[in-house]
Amino acid sequence: MSKFFKYFLAVVLGSMVSAFFFLIGIVMFISILASSASKDVKVDKNSILVLELSGPIVERATSDPLQSLVSELSGQPSTTGLNQILASIKKAKIDDRIMGIYMEPGLAMGGWATIEEIRNALIDFRESGKFVHSFGSVYTQKGYYLASAGDKVYLNPAGMLDFQGLSSTYTFYKGTLEKLGVEMQVFKHGEFKSAVEPFILYKMSDAARLQTETFLNSMWQHVLNQVAESRNISVEALNQTAENLPAFMADSALLASGLIDSFKYKDEVIEELKSLTGIESKKDLNGVTLAKYDQVYLPGKKKGLEKNKIAVIYAQGEIDGSSGGIKSGELSRTIRQARRDSSIKAIVFRINSPGGSGLGSEIIWREVKLARETKPFVVSMGDLAASGGYYIACAADTILAHPTTLTGSIGVFGLIPNTQGLLKKIGITTDRVKTNTFADMPALDRAFTADEKRILQAYIERFYTFFLQRCADGRNTTVEAIDEVGEGRVWSGENALGLSLVDKLGGIDDAIKIAANMANIESYRIVELPEMLTPIEQVMKSLSGDASARIGNILFGEEFRIFQTIRDLQTAYPVQARMPFEISVN
């Protein structure tokens, strides 16, 4: 009986503790909602816009109170939307109260094309005659690339600056799978379709190495050209500086390289900003953060009164994967609704995707084709628009990419594990009864028969031909021409322009202007689709499908992507149109 009461009291106490923390969470959640309620944000004269870009940058921000709560509790930076950043910089350019931008971009977390988009916005901002100053204790390469667009680049005297060239590292699982007794059965078309290589090889194939060298060199050359122009340094001198590893250079050598303007402490930079904005030294600097400025509407500016609309539809993430991303049914419905809406005169399709399900790609492609037949349809590529990401883009009227976008990867593969060796190791056996020859196909507890392999490979070949035809029709060329640049090969945006896989180099604003010209409209307003979830809906979503991904990212960071890759194999549609599983360029 005493044990019963002990356990009973333990359960009661545990329940009370859980309820207490749940109550605290609810109170904090309500506080976040209350603090984020719409209040007029005051912007004083002689102010500066403060861009602290230390967290992940995604295509589009969501109003996610749970994320704010998790960020508060974990100390991790919250996610910022590229759309918020671009809109705020554009607004600050014409806001007479904003005299300049101060940014701390040293640890910016985004793809190269995302950084390029922000960098171009800063260059455009400077054309108004306003200043952009950057400060950092540490600059990653992407952070420095962003900073180099400004008037001044300052580094903490004890800080570090990374500018050493690009690299891309791949993780291979074949050795682990062999130890476990798992054989990956691969069906693919495309010499360069290296998405399967981590599961069947110990290192990169010659084809994979060649394609990586090609797009990395293209991207690096673009970075060198842009930094050289902004900093007034020759490309040759800049590349030589990279060879000397600036992160470990002596202070005098780093200054002499021209990468930075001076070593300063943050208080010294603040004093300089006060001087530039006419603020007395003893007073506080008039600064407004991105989160607050995003809520500001310029005096006298009318909001939402234009009848004509241009829809910007966002497609971010893997297509029909198990960890959020693009859901083909939902996205195709959004495109269909925009096509049928007579007030929407043109559509800009913003894609940031490595691809995914072949079937999901085809479902989305169909709606893109129908929309293009109804109204102007322009694609704007972000960091990635490859394989299935290119599949859903190819039917557009016009395709834009950044020089550092990764695209192409026109190829198909299937990857199905044989776990017979693993089961044998742990003493598990299987047996079956079937009515027809292929009734148990695909079976994961045995190797494929010769006939099964033949059938699956034939299906892959048919789907690849199907993919080629979609691209050829969309790009108004031949299947043979697409096949020459296909075979699963990944290209940079600059490469893709020369191969006619894209039409122009540019960002989302360029795509919107092209769409407006095609629709013959001068005045319009932008509607972003799909519609944002309400805070409560976002919380419910966060607590359900996306919870494991959020927790995994918090606990394991970048390494969580490896677990996601392996997990996605278990539930993935058999035929995949996607690029190498994880291309990460430093």
CATH number, domain with residue 125: 3.90.226.10
| Domain end marker among 293, 319, 353 | 293
Which pLDDT does position 580 carry in this prediction? Answer: 55
For 133, the 3-state DSSP assignment is strand
- Give the per-residue pLDDT at 4: 47
Beta bridge partners of 56: 109
Spatial contact of 199 and 415, defined as CB atoms under 8 Å apart: yes
- Tell me the two tokens of residue 162: 């990374």
Is 55 domain-assigned?
Answer: yes
**319 and 283 part of one domain:** no
Residues 476 and 398 in one domain: yes
Active site positions, annotated:
193, 387
H/E run at residue 491: strand 490-492
- Tell me the CA distances in angstroms from 188 to 2, 378, 441, 454, 458, one per residue in order: 65, 30, 18, 12, 10
* Domain contains 536: yes
CB 529 within 8 A of CB 334: yes
Task: Report the domain count for the chain.
Answer: 2
Does 299 map to a domain?
no
Q: By C-alpha distance, which of 116, 565, 501 is closest to 354?
A: 565
DSSP string, 446-482: SPPPHHHHHHHHHHHHHHHHHHHHHHHHHHTS-HHHH
77 in any annotated domain: yes
**580: preceding bond cis by omega (within 30 degrees):** no
- Whether a cis peptide bond, with omega within 30° of 0, leads into 105 is no
Q: Is the dihedral of CA 367, 369, 372, 377 positive or negative?
A: positive
Same domain, 411 and 503: yes
Which residues in the chain show pLDDT less than 50?
3-5, 7-8, 36-38, 545, 554-560, 569-571
What pTM was estimated for this model as a whole?
A: 0.84
Cα–Cα nearest to 551, from 543, 124, 498: 543
In a domain, 57, yes or no: yes
- Please indicate, yes or no, if residue 128 is contained in any of the structural domains: yes
The verdict on 526 and 456 lying in the same domain is: yes
Give the pLDDT confidence score for residue 297 in this predicted structure.
Answer: 81
Residue 38 lies in a domain: no
In angstroms, the CA 109 to CA 558 distance is: 11
Per DSSP, the three-state class of 301 is coil
In this structure, the answer to whether residues 285 and 423 fall within a common structural domain is no
Verify that 267 and 377 share a domain, yes or no. Answer: no
Residue numbers of the domain that contains 523:
309-432+441-541+571-578
Length of the chain: 586
Domain identity same for 287 and 325: no
Q: Looking at the structure, do residues 266 and 381 belong to the same domain, yes or no?
A: no
Is the distance from CB of 110 to CB of 585 less than 8 angstroms? Answer: no
> Is 566 domain-assigned?
no
Q: b vs e for 319-349, b when ≥16 Cβ sit within 10 Å of the residue's Cβ?
A: bbbbbebbbbeebbebbebbbeeeebbbbbb
Distance of CA 535 to the CA centre of its chain: 23
For residue 138, which of 162, 167, 102, 114 has the smallest C-alpha distance? 162
Please indicate, yes or no, whether residues 283 and 399 belong to a single structural domain of this protein: no
C-alpha to C-alpha distance for 109 and 171, rounded to whole angstroms:
21
Q: Which residues contact 492 (CB under 8 A, 6 or more apart)?
A: 214, 215, 218, 219, 222, 403, 404, 405, 406, 407
* Distance from C-alpha of 99 to C-alpha of 47, rounded to nearest angstrom: 6
Which pLDDT score is estimated for 574? 57
Q: Which of 235, 266, 293 is the last residue in one of the domains? A: 293
Q: How many Å apart are CA 419 and CA 406, to the nearest integer?
A: 34
Identify the burial level of 533 via C-beta atoms within 10 angstroms of its C-beta, where 0-12 means exposed, 13-18 middle and 19 or more buried: middle
* Structural domain ending residue among the three candidates 231, 266, 293: 293
Residues 336 and 281 in one domain: no
- 284 and 426: one domain? no
The whole-angstrom distance between residue 580's C-alpha and the CA centroid of its chain comes to 15
Instruction: Let me know whether 274 and 359 are in one domain.
Output: no
